[in-house]
Amino acid sequence: MLCLFFSDVHITLQPDIAFGGARVLIRQIRNKIIDAILLRTHRNDVARRQLKPRFGELPPEMWGLDVDSAGELCVAGWSVRELAEEHGSPLYIVDEERLKQNYHDFRAAFTKHYPKIDIGYSYKTNPLPGAIKILHDAGASAEVISEFELWLACELGVPPDRIIFNGPGKTVSSLEKAVSLGVKLINVDSVDEIERINALAAQQNRVQAVALRVVTSQGWSAQFGIPIAGGLALDAFRKMKEASHLDPCGLHMHLGTGLKDPDTYFKAVQDMLDLGVELAESLGIRIRHYDLGGGFGVPTVKPFEGWDTRLLQSGRPAQLIDPAAAPDISVYAKGIAKLFAQYVDTADPDCPEIVLEPGRAVSSSAQMLAVRVLTVKEDESRRLAIVDGGKNICIPLGYEYHEILPANKMREPQVQPYDVFGPLCHPNDLLVQGKMFPRLEAGDTLAVMDAGAYFVPNQRNFSNPRPAAVIVSRGKSRVTRKPERFEHIVALDADFSPDALS
């Protein structure tokens, strides 16, 4: 017999003591407690949630968007609905000016406080060559994690001394290419790689600059890097120093994704700086590049946490986005620079460089995904809208809350919550649950915001071709990626001729 007293909540359950029964019991206890808390502690919030419309939580101005006199959502003066009609739906829309501005703002936040900054855009975040090119033209370097991305950087004309090569599983051929190019830094992830890179550099009679990906006391460890703890990173540097064709000159960390806690970041930076001192003292190695990675969260996206998952499972909408939860990048910049000032002389022209590898922080808010409503289904209990893009192209909506705007009905009243699903035959093909919208009908266009991070790399051909992308600015729009046609999906299959491609 189990008795559970939780303030005024009193639960009595007769558990079957066998394992199956115990499992059921746990689930019952958990659900009872959660329901009790939902009703009690959270009563006000629940009430607010049910009354507060989900649409308009974050105004379109958060993304620099306008609404025209007809109530249409506009990017740089272009109607989202019209763009989707002209170029086909689903459609990625890249806001060129905002993308540039995001980059400049990110860079400026750091250069204001520290003299030597290199910003390497994380290719994996949004590998649309047209969008990446805008960032390179604005001054960004390239952060790549595979041979494909290394190749793409070369194709986009990035000089090798502006390419940083990361990743836990670098193939031999990718390392060979990186060494032959003489990229700025290869960030070594394992002891194995030290010998492998050295051998390749020796073959090519080159000296390759390398950094070590370290595990700090904070953030991700998993399969990545070599821990500072236990002297393991120091041992790896000893090996790199002994290697005839390596120039060990950098430290690399990467703490996570969507980070919203500057203190975590600062503690890890401190670990890096302390290791830098130790390397100088015990091995005479001078760290010229402190690569602090990326992973900065943005104010307009909210990763689902435990509580959201519960709410979603119980058919409720997830928690509201709190834009204030993501600190401005200047908070990171200021704090990091302050730490560096304690360790290095920033007036010295030889002071180390800080490398940053933002992805989401730069591109997330500069891109949206337009989808079209195919069908609306209603019964007494709820309304469903089925749209033409689901978990084939909207993977992040499974683990983050993104604003979704009714692009052609921005001034209509929000009448009822909708569950918005994609077109795939799977119950998890859900874009958003219980979100207030104006009355939706087939043909309406919805704008999934912040589609500039982890949408494009995660998209798949699940029963459907992949979308086109258009880049817009004031008075100009251009297709940067054509829509995939059916023929393209099977272009590499025997019995389907590549001639079909054009």
Give the separation between CA 447 and CA 403, rounded to whole angstroms.
Answer: 8
Q: Which of 139, 169, 231, 315 binds its own copies (CB under 8 A)?
A: 169
Q: Which is nearer to its own copies, 113 or 184 (CB)?
A: 184
In the complex, what is the shortest distance from the CB of residue 411 to its own copies, in angstroms, rounded to a whole number? 25
Which of 47, 59, 151, 474 is close enough to bind its own copies by CB under 8 A? 151
Consecutive H or E run containing 241: helix 232-242
DSSP-H helix ranges across 65-223: 80-87, 96-111, 129-138, 147-155, 172-181, 191-203
Question: Which parts of 350-409 interact with its own copies (CB under 8 A)?
Answer: 374-377, 379, 384, 386-388, 390
CB of 319 to its own copies, least distance (A): 12
Q: Which of 304, 300, 317 lies closest to 418, judged by CA?
A: 317
The least CB distance from residue 495 to its own copies, in Å, is 6
Among 423, 434, 438, 452, binds its own copies (CB under 8 A): 423
Q: Which of 10, 16, 59, 148 binds its own copies (CB under 8 A)?
A: 148
Buried-exposed string 40-72: b where 16+ CB fall within 10 A, e elsewhere: eebeeeeeebeeeebbebbebebbebebeeeeb
CA 500 from chain centre, in angstroms, equals 35
Q: Which residues are 118's β-sheet partners?
A: 355
Stretch that binds its own copies, among 16-24, 96-104, 269-277, 321-329 (CB under 8 A): 16-24
Residues contacting its own copies: total by CB under 8 A: 110
Residues 6+ apart with CB under 8 A from 428: 391, 398
Burial class (CB in 10 A: 0-12, 13-18, 19+), 173: exposed
Q: Yes or no: say if 126 and 152 are a contact pair by the CB < 8 Å rule.
A: no
Q: Which of residues 179-238 bind its own copies (CB under 8 A)?
A: 189-193, 220-224, 227, 232
Smaller CB separation from its own copies, 286 or 460: 460
Q: How far apart are CA 245 and CA 207, in angstroms?
A: 5
> Helix (H, G, I), strand (E, B), or coil: what is residue 65?
coil
Q: Please report how close the Cβ of residue 379 comes to its own copies at its closest, in angstroms.
A: 7
The one among 50, 282, 309, 461 contacting its own copies by CB under 8 A = 461
Q: Could you tell me the smallest distance in angstroms from the CB atom of residue 502 to its own copies?
A: 7
CB of 300 to its own copies, least distance (A): 21
In angstroms, the CA 79 to CA 87 distance is: 12
In angstroms, give the least distance from the CB of 150 to its own copies.
9
30 binds its own copies (CB under 8 A): yes
CB closer to its own copies, 180 vs 346: 180
CB of 59 to its own copies, least distance (A): 27
Residue given tokens 């120093």 in the structure block? 241
**String of contacts with its own copies for each residue 41-60, x by CB under 8 A:** xx------------------
Q: Residue 251 carries which DSSP code? A: E
328 versus 441: smaller Cβ distance to its own copies: 441
Q: Does residue 309 touch its own copies according to CB under 8 A?
A: no
3-state secondary structure 26-56: HHHHHHHHHHHHHHCCCHHHHHHHHHCCCCC
Stretch that binds its own copies, among 33-41, 53-61, 101-109, 271-279 (CB under 8 A): 33-41
Can you tell me whether residue 50 is helix, strand or coil?
helix
| HSE-up of residue 443 (Cα within 13 Å, Cβ side) | 2
User: CB of residue 148 vs its own copies: minimum separation in angstroms?
Assistant: 5
Piece of 129-137, 262-270, 346-354, 400-408 that binds its own copies (CB under 8 A): 129-137
